[in-house]
Amino acid sequence: MQSFNWHSYYRLDDIYDWLEDLSDRYPDEVRLRTIGKSYENRTIVAVKLTLRGSIRRGKIIVEGGCHGNEWISPAFVTYMLHTLLNFKEYENEELETIALMYSWIFVPVMNPDGYEYAHTTDRLWRKNRRGGYGVDLNRNYGIGFGAHCPDKSNTENREHCGDSPFSEPESEAMSLFTKDNSDNLEYYLSFHSYGQHIILPYSVSVEHTDNYNVVSVMYFITAGFFIFLLITRCDSKSYKNYALLRGVPYDESELIFFKTLDKVYDVTWWKEPTQVQKPVEFSIAPRNLAALYRDTEKMTVRFMIVIRNLQGAFDKQKATAYFRRNMASFNWHNFYRLDDIYDWLKDVSSQYPEEVQLRRVGTTHENRTIMAARLRLKGSKNRSKVIVEGGCHAREWLSPAVVTYMLYTLLNANKYKDKELEHIAYTYTWVFIPVMNPDGYEYSHTTDRLWRKNRRPGGAVDLNRNYGIAFGSHGASNNPTSIKYCGDSPFSEPETHFMATMAREHRHKLEYYISFHSYGQFLIIPYSHLIEHEDNYDQVKKLADKATQRMNKNHGITYKSGTAFETIAKINIKAHFFAGYLASGTSSDWVKRALNVSYVLTIELPDTGAHGYALPPGRILPSCQAVMDGLLEILTPQSKRFLRTNNAVGKNRLCVKVIFFCNVFVYIMRYAINYLC
Distance in angstroms between the alpha carbons of the first and the last residue of the chain: 108
Q: What is the pLDDT of residue 385?
A: 95
Q: Per-residue pLDDT for 236 more than 80? A: no
Q: What is the 3-state secondary structure (H, E, C) of 163-224?
A: CCCCCCHHHHHHHHHHHHCCCCEEEEEECCCCCCCCCCCCCCCCCCCCCHHHHCCCCEEECC
CATH domain 12-227 topology: Aminopeptidase (3.40.630)
The pair phi, psi for residue 210, each rounded to 5°, is 55, -130
Q: What is the pLDDT of residue 203?
A: 54
Q: What is the pLDDT of residue 250?
A: 87
Q: Average pLDDT, stretch 127-135?
A: 93
- The whole-chain average pLDDT of the chain stands at 86
Q: What is the pLDDT of residue 96?
A: 85
Q: What is the pLDDT of residue 503?
A: 96
622 versus 300: which is more confidently predicted? 622
Q: Average pLDDT, stretch 1-22?
A: 92
Q: Per-residue pLDDT for 249 more than 80? A: yes
Of the listed ranges 90-99, 466-475, 596-605, the one predicted with least confidence: 90-99
Express each pLDDT in 160-197 by its tens digit: 888 888 999 999 999 999 989 888 888 899 999 988 87
Q: What is the pLDDT of residue 212?
A: 40
Same topology, domains 12-227 and 354-374+381-639? Answer is yes
- Can you state the angle between helices 398-411 and 620-676, rounded to 10 degrees? 40
Express each pLDDT in 347-373 by its tens digit: 999 999 999 999 999 999 999 999 999
Express each pLDDT in 202-224 by its tens digit: 554 445 445 444 343 333 323 22
Superfamily for domain range 354-374+381-639: Zn peptidases (3.40.630.10)
pTM for the structure as a whole: 0.63
Q: What is the pLDDT of residue 642?
A: 40
CA 126 vs CA 64, 117, 121, 137: distances in Å: 13, 9, 12, 9
Q: What is the pLDDT of residue 669?
A: 57
Q: Average pLDDT, stretch 639-655?
A: 41
Which residues, in sequence order, are bridge partners of residue 43?
A: 37
Q: What is the CATH number of domain 243-315?
A: 3.30.70.340
Here the contacts of 636-641 (C-beta below 8 Å, separation 24 or greater) are 636/420, 636/423, 636/424, 637/543, 637/546, 638/511, 638/599, 639/383, 639/423, 639/424, 639/427, 639/428, 640/423
Q: Average pLDDT, stretch 657-661?
A: 50
| Rounded-to-integer distance, Cα 477 and Cα 496, Å | 17
Q: What is the pLDDT of residue 650?
A: 41
Q: Per-residue pLDDT for 644 more than 90? A: no
Q: What is the pLDDT of residue 156?
A: 84
Per-residue confidence band for 641, with pLDDT thresholds at 50, 70 and 90: very low
Q: What is the pLDDT of residue 567?
A: 84
Share of the chain above pLDDT 90, in %: 62
Q: Average pLDDT, stretch 662-668?
A: 55
Of the listed ranges 40-49, 238-247, 444-453, the one predicted with least confidence: 238-247
Q: What is the pLDDT of residue 327?
A: 87
Q: What is the pLDDT of residue 653?
A: 43
Q: What is the pLDDT of residue 677?
A: 47
Q: What is the pLDDT of residue 336?
A: 95
Q: Alpha carbon 261 to chain centroid distance?
A: 33
| Residues in contact with 191: Cβ distance below 8 Å, sequence separation at least 6, in sequence order | 62, 63, 64, 73, 76, 77, 225
Of the listed ranges 317-321, 406-410, 639-643, the one predicted with least confidence: 639-643
Highest mean pLDDT among 8-12, 270-274, 315-319, 579-583: 8-12
On whether the CB atoms of residues 487 and 542 are closer than 8 A, the answer is no
Q: What is the pLDDT of residue 72?
A: 96
| Cβ neighbour number for residue 87 with a 10 Å cutoff | 18
| Cβ neighbour number for residue 55 with a 10 Å cutoff | 17
Q: What is the pLDDT of residue 6?
A: 94
Q: What is the pLDDT of residue 654?
A: 46
Give the closest residue to 601 by CA, choosing from 526, 521, 500.
Answer: 526
Q: What is the pLDDT of residue 381?
A: 76
The count of C-alpha atoms lying within 13 angstroms of the C-alpha of 253, restricted to the half-sphere facing its C-beta, is: 4
Express each pLDDT in 54-67 by its tens digit: 766 688 999 999 99
| Cβ neighbour number for residue 466 with a 10 Å cutoff | 31
| Cβ neighbour number for residue 95 with a 10 Å cutoff | 18
Element (H, E) at 571: strand 570-572
Q: What is the pLDDT of residue 281?
A: 94
Q: Per-residue pLDDT for 595 more than 70? A: yes
Q: What is the pLDDT of residue 664?
A: 52
On whether the CB atoms of residues 585 and 485 are closer than 8 A, the answer is no
Where in the chain are the domains?
A: 12-227, 243-315, 354-374+381-639
Q: Average pLDDT, stretch 98-108?
A: 91
